[in-house]
């Protein structure tokens, strides 16, 4: 029997046996994205009455159902479920009082877990061990290397369906693993982007007009990024590269259309990203495909890394913008919607890139639950809203009415530019508010 096989067998336990290593008061990392544990979560939920004050941490809970530990402990008397980003499930749990958000700069998370947050037990879902004793982390590396390094106990849940992805610090060796659980091979969670609206299409058309041959793209999930990708597929734009926090189906479509060649001045020939979520076709595409280069988030989202890539184009969504140019992408007042991810990093890095551009996109209006239509461009951000991108940093703001460039503009010029891309029904009101706020004077240019 080989040494590796002996090590494997000596560490192989059931999920129920593995979670016995978790004690009251422990901080437990649950993995992230498609690497969030599934069977171990269910096994830990069974121990609910045995444990007190167990804090769990993840970055996006990817499954449609709430975690088993939350189902078993809906009033959070035993488990505190925490996350550094918010998806649909986290939003629902947060409203119900059993999910807590950890504000972060995504690129800093490796440092958090080696310097500021003590992880007692790390649990990650991984691909089967290879002949060299490595478990591939799959389509997510993000902060996993630091979590593995800092944890007292490391438990891996093996999933035979986990794609094997090439990259940097993208695997954990059996020598770093304390317990191995053969999982139930639950399917990887898939997500599909929303269909692009007519507003999305208009916004996308403005952005695509500004994309140059040889640009490097960062796109997120949703109807708008997919629409940007579709419009590029139909255009003459070519020789694109990928350097993106998230790898999404829009990139797969661009690659299949021959638009992505990886002809960039850093990591040439590689699609670089830190996590992927999307369709099964997306996971099949990245599985053991050497064109992909998954890396820790402190490399992918590092501002100086982004700045080294010429003609960088970042496309992100936001919720509201005020007349000073402050951008909120996280909350509707006190109602928490999402995390900031790497939005600020990509806005900063893109502008430092030679020829770089960042686009923060929002429809000009939003319909509230009671049917009221409100402007997403506001005099000031709603009380309780989060400033995701400060006014000094904002570059391009885009609505279906055009693009407003914030760089180098005075307060009244910013207000004017933003009012020009606001919905016409709200422009007069915005001008009056800008006058009241002292950023729209008689000497200011009047809109035609």
The answer to whether 11 touches 174, Cβ cutoff 8 Å, is yes
Q: What gap in Å lies between CA 36 and CA 46, rounded to an integer?
A: 18
The answer to whether 124 touches 37, Cβ cutoff 8 Å, is yes
DSSP states of 154-220: EEEEE-TTPPP--BSS-EEEGGG-SEEEE---PPPP---PPPPPHHHHHHHHHHHTTPPTT-EEE--
The answer to whether 69 touches 79, Cβ cutoff 8 Å, is yes
Helices (H), 66-129: 68-72, 88-95, 109-111
**DSSP H/E element including 412:** helix 411-420
DSSP 3-state assignment of 274?
A: strand
DSSP 3-state assignment of 356?
A: coil
Q: What gap in Å lies between CA 342 and CA 436, rounded to an integer?
A: 34
Choose the catalytic residue: 157, 245, 302, 320: 245
Within 10 Å of residue 189's Cβ, how many Cβ atoms? 16
Q: For residue 88, give every residue at least 6 positions away whose Cβ sits within 8 Å of its Cβ, in sequence order, or none.
A: none
Rounding to the nearest 10 degrees, give the CA dihedral for residues 286, 37, 106, 325. Answer: 90
Comparing CA positions, the residue from 142, 129, 115, 114 lying closest to residue 58 is 142
The answer to whether 276 touches 248, Cβ cutoff 8 Å, is yes
Is-catalytic flag, 245?
A: yes
Helix, strand, coil percentages in the chain from 3-state DSSP, rounded to 5: 30, 25, 45
Q: Which residue in the block uniquely carries the two structure tokens 């890539």?
A: 309
Residues belonging to the chain: 448
Active-site positions read 245
């Amino acid at each position: 029997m080989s040494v590796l096989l002996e090590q494997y067998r000596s560490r192989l336990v059931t999920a129920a046996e593995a979670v016995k290593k978790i004690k009251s008061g422990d901080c437990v990392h649950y993995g992230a994205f498609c690497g969030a544990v599934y069977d171990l979560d269910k096994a830990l939920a069974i121990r609910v009455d045995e444990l007190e004050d167990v804090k769990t941490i993840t970055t996006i809970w990817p499954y449609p159902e709430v975690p088993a530990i939350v189902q078993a402990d809906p009033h959070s008397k035993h488990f505190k479920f925490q996350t550094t980003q918010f998806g649909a499930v986290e939003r629902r749990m947060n409203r119900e009082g059993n999910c807590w958000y950890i504000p972060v700069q995504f690129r800093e998370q490796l440092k958090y877990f080696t310097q500021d947050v003590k992880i007692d037990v790390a649990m990650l879902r991984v691909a089967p061990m290879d002949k060299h004793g490595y478990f591939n982390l799959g389509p997510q590396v993000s902060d996993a290397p630091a979590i593995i390094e800092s944890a007292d106990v490391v438990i891996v849940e093996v999933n035979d369906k986990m794609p094997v992805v090439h990259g940097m610090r993208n695997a954990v060796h059996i020598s770093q693993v304390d317990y191995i659980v053969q999982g139930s091979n639950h399917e990887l969670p898939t997500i599909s982007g929303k269909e692009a609206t007519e507003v999305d299409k208009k916004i996308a058309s403005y952005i695509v007009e500004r994309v140059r041959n040889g640009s490097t793209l960062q796109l997120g999930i949703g109807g708008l990024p997919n629409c940007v990708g579709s419009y590029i597929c139909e255009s003459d734009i070519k020789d694109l590269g990928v350097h993106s926090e998230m790898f999404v189906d829009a990139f797969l479509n661009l690659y299949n259309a021959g638009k992505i060649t990886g002809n960039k001045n850093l990591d040439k020939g590689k699609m670089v990203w830190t996590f992927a979520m999307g369709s099964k076709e997306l996971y099949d595409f990245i599985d053991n495909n050497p064109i992909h280069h998954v890396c820790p988030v402190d490399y992918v989202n590092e501002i100086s890394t982004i700045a080294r890539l010429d003609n960088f184009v970042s496309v992100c969504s936001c919720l509201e913008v005020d007349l000073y140019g402050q951008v909120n992408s996280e909350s509707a007042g006190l109602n928490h919607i999402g995390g900031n991810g790497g939005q600020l990093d990509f806005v900063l890095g893109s502008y430092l890139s030679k020829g770089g551009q960042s686009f923060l996109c929002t429809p000009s209006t939003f319909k509230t639950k009671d049917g009221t239509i409100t402007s997403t461009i506001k005099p000031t951000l709603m009380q309780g809203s989060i400033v995701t991108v400060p006014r000094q940093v904002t570059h391009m703001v885009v609505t279906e009415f055009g693009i407003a460039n914030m760089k180098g503009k005075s307060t009244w010029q910013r207000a004017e530019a933003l009012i020009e891309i606001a919905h016409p029904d709200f422009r007069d009101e915005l001008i009056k508010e800008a006058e009241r706020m002292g950023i729209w004077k008689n000497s200011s240019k009047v809109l035609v």
